[in-house]
């Protein structure tokens, strides 16, 4: 057994790897912008799951989001050049090398982790090729291009869009690059990590899953405010008089999220009466305003002309 453990230690001690650590922050708020505290969060980034709890101000932090790249697993025969020109306006070109025929996929993000152009995806033959990216109409600034070769070799390159800078010439060739191991190591400031999902749970809001979140860029990344509508547990919607209303949990009470809109509209110069018909007013006598803002009711009409204060005495 000792020999086996010693052998394993020797094996792993000689496996070189690069470890990146990233931090993700954000804030949970309800539909009114109020902080949601004490909620449990799970961040899914394959193959790992990270846990956090929202603080009193609704903020949360995921620390030490780690990705490991072992150099021994880096495929040989792949390479990606720096973009040329860079800075550019508005088109630039990146060269690549494939050991065999395969796929090339390019995605460009801004510094918030949002995609700014449609993904570029194509099949390429073995050898050297190139792909052009045009950021026409986008503001000046730094962008990140993630290049995936053959679905297994990933590199992130920095792009600087600057109007008035060099244009990509129609006769420009493929940018120069070297095929060596140093080309495989990404700068930590240009890390791009995909989030599979973020799941929030509590006894108040139940379960809420956020998908299609911006990718994580850099060592510190903020997801900003994430809004959660607080519906009543077990009663997310209520149907009343043929109309569907969403519910909202306020403390221990369950309320309709939208204003009530039932009954027949009468004009503002008419009086609602005890005639067995629910009568409502609409702002400016416009029925569209009832659809948007809900109906307006006189107290007696809303109480069905019954004195709710005439309750039997307590025993």
Say which residues have a Cβ less than 8 Å from residue 140's Cβ, sequence separation at least 6: 161, 162, 163
DSSP state of 172: -
Range list for CATH 2.60.40.10 in the chain: 16-71+193-228
Question: Residue 256's pLDDT is what?
Answer: 86
Question: Residue 66's pLDDT is what?
Answer: 66
Architecture per CATH, 78-178 = Sandwich (2.60)
Q: How many C-beta atoms surround the C-beta of residue 59 within 10 A?
A: 16
Say which residues have a Cβ less than 8 Å from residue 207's Cβ, sequence separation at least 6: 199, 200, 201
Range list for CATH 2.60.40.1930 in the chain: 78-178
Instruction: Give the Cα separation of 149 and 12 in Å (integer).
Output: 28
Question: Residue 169's pLDDT is what?
Answer: 78
Instruction: Give the Cα separation of 304 and 278 in Å (integer).
Output: 8
Residue-level length of the chain: 315
- High-pLDDT (> 90) share of the chain, %: 27
Superfamily, domain 16-71+193-228: Immunoglobulins (2.60.40.10)
Tens-digit pLDDT string for the chain (315 aa):
444 333 433 333 333 444 457 889 999 998 778 898 999 999 988 778 899 999 999 999 998 886 544 443 445 678 888 888 888 889 999 988 888 888 999 999 988 888 899 899 999 988 888 899 999 889 998 999 989 888 878 888 889 998 888 888 777 777 766 543 333 334 444 456 778 889 998 876 678 889 888 877 777 888 999 998 777 777 888 898 888 888 877 767 888 888 999 999 999 999 999 998 999 999 999 999 998 899 999 988 888 888 655 555 555
Say which residues have a Cβ less than 8 Å from residue 128's Cβ, sequence separation at least 6: 95, 96, 97, 174
The model's pLDDT over 182-192, given as tens digits with 9 standing for 90+, comes to 333 344 444 56
pTM greater than 0.75 (yes/no) = no
């Amino acid at each position: 057994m000792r020999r086996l453990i010693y052998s394993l230690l020797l094996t792993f001690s000689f496996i070189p790897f690069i470890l990146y650590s990233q931090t993700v922050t954000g804030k949970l708020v309800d539909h009114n912008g109020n902080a949601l505290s004490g909620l449990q969060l799970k961040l899914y980034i394959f193959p790992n799951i990270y846990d956090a709890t929202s603080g009193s101000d609704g903020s949360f932090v995921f620390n030490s989001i780690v990705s490991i790249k072992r150099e021994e697993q880096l495929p040989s025969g792949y390479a990606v050049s720096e973009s040329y020109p860079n800075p550019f306006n508005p088109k630039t070109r990146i060269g690549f090398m494939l050991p065999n025929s395969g796929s090339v996929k390019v995605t460009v993000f801004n510094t918030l982790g949002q995609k700014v152009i449609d993904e570029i995806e194509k099949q390429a033959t073995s050898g050297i090729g190139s792909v052009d990216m045009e950021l026409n109409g986008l503001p000046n600034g730094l962008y990140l291009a993630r290049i995936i070769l053959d679905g297994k070799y990933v590199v992130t390159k920095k792009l600087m869009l600057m109007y008035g800078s060099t244009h990509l010439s129609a006769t420009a060739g493929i940018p120069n690059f070297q095929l060596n191991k140093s080309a495989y190591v990404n700068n930590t400031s240009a890390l791009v990590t995909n989030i599979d999902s973020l799941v929030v749970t509590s006894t108040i809001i139940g379960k809420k899953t956020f998908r299609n979140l911006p990718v994580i860029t850099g060592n510190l990344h903020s997801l900003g405010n994430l809004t959660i509508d607080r519906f009543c547990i077990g009663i997310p919607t209520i149907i009343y008089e043929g109309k569907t209303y969403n519910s909202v949990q306020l403390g221990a009470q369950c309320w309709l999220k939208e204003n009530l809109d039932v009954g027949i509209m009468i004009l503002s110069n008419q009086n609602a009466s005890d005639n067995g018909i629910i009568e409502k007013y609409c702002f400016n006598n416009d029925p569209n305003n009832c659809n948007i803002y809900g109906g307006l009711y006189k107290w007696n009409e809303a109480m069905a002309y019954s004195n709710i204060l005439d309750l039997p005495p307590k025993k």
